[in-house]
Amino acid sequence: IIFRGLKRITGNNYVERSVILAIRNDIAIYSIHTNLDNVLKGVNGKMAGLLGLSNTRVLSPKEGILQKLFCFVPLREADAVRQAIFDAGGGNIGRYSECSFNVEGMGTFKGAQDTHPFVGDPGKLHQEKEIKMEIIFPAWLQKRILKAMLSAHPYEEVAYDIVTLANTHSMTGSGLVGDLENPLTETEFLQRLKSAFKLELVRHTALTGRKVKRVALCGGSGSFLIANALENRADFYLSSDIKYHEFFDADGRMVVADIGHFESEQFTRELLNEILREKFPTFAVLKSEVQTNPVQYFF
């Protein structure tokens, strides 16, 4: 509800009044607006499910949120350390899990006289056959990954490196693109769109006369992804808050449809309800039925 920073809470508008009511009634407000927009199974995933899309993937994956851990482990302990990192969430690449790369080599070290090395003797140079393992993980798991690795690692002082990657994260980013199991005519797809999202009208560009197989979408304001939809060879792109001149960007190569901001995100309550009931099966979940769309239509 707090879309912009609050400089005062005086009750002069609906946001301030809502915050005052929440404070008076000890209610916590947890806002996950952008978070839920940027995961594959979030708002866009819910929209895709309503339209029957399969083979879904992020339309514009984010860069710079993947990291790679390099660590050096004695041969006999490598499996245990690797598994601990996997259990902490490392090693996931797209729809593959427990991914790693491992190279055997020779490590050297010499501990001070007051050290307690796992192998070798204090004050003496030691050589040990080790595995250098490389494992990718999302940046937000860094503390958990390091804790798991250090807990499972036998060395008193662990040698490791963490680097940030320029790779995109295939499960995180803006928009979504997927395929219809059976292609539809553009008119048939518009009818499916109206039915699935309970729409009275749809603003769209001129129909191309081609079948609709690949559909790209973005809940909320998504005109910034029109170029991405074209790059992914979408036949149809649906979103909202598309300006007059932005409709020209379709250039006859696909249909662009604006279904309304609220209309595109209207099923978020159901999505959150499903997530909470799955994660907290013994927790009482109350789903609001209040209609908050400020846009009305006259027919």
Rounded CA-CA distance 15/30 in Å is 14
Ranges under pLDDT 70 in the chain: none
Say what the pLDDT of residue 34 is.
83
Q: How far apart are CA 281 and CA 50, in angstroms?
A: 24
- DSSP assignment of the chain: ---S--S--SSSSHHHHHHHHHHHTT------HHHHHTBTTSHHHHHHHHHTEEEEEEEEEEES-EEEEEEEEEGGGHHHHHHHHHHTT-S-BTTB-S--EEEEEEEEE---TT---SSS-TTS-EEEEEEEEEEEEEGGGHHHHHHHHHHH---SS--EEEEE---EEEEEEEEEEEEEEEEE-HHHHHHHHHHHTT-S--EE----SS-EEEEEEEEEE-GGGHHHHHHTT-SEEEEE---GGGGGGGTTSSEEEE--HHHHHTTHHHHHHHHHHHH-TTS----------------
Q: Count CA atoms closer than 13 A to 57's CA, side-chain side.
A: 15
Query: What tens digit of pLDDT does each residue of 122-152 get?
Result: 999 999 999 999 999 999 999 999 999 999 9
The pTM of the full predicted model, rounded to 2 decimals, is 0.83
Instruction: Look over the chain and give the mean of its residue pLDDT values, rounded to a whole number.
Output: 94
